Amino acid sequence: MRKLTSKDLKELNLLKHYRIIRKWMCRTCDIKDADLELLIYLDSIDFFTKKDFKIGTYSYSWDNRRWNRLLKEGWIVVWRKRNRTTQKYNIYKVSFKCKQLISRMYRIMLGEEDIPTLSKVDKYSDKVLMSSIKNVNKDKTR
């Protein structure tokens, strides 16, 4: 198997519309930008502990409610519970809902899927986002 280079990634144009796709995902799924990026990081390491989660949050804004919010909203699930004798801590993984969200994001970034547009937009920021989304959907070289 050939190793990916920076040139290969540039030719894919993977990050060309990342910001707009991320904004749309966050708006649609009612999740914060930092939470989405943290979930992408956690998805890449498959199984993790709360310590791994804390290590992953160092580069994001401090939010002491993030862990409980992601657990409560179903973005993170317990994979193996601790039993106080042989397993000293829980092991977690991202939920099926989260995996679906991330794979949809990748499909949109690769141009396999278009971003759905809203017909009714009230706020100015939504209008700007919708015009950006239309431009992304027109761009078939992404």
Q: How far is CA 60 from CA 23, 26, 99, in A?
A: 16, 16, 21
| pTM tops 0.95, yes or no | no
Chunked in runs of 10, what are the mean pLDDT values of the chain (142 residues)? Answer: 86 89 93 94 93 89 91 95 80 96 94 86 86 90 76
CATH number at residue 45: 1.10.10.10
Tokens (6 digits) for 109: 């970034």
Domain count, the chain: 1
Quick check: is 90 in a domain? yes
Q: Has residue 67 been placed in a domain?
A: yes
Question: Is residue 69 situated within a structural domain?
Answer: yes
Cα–Cα distance, 42 to 30 (Å, whole number): 19
What is the domain extent for residue 95? 33-110
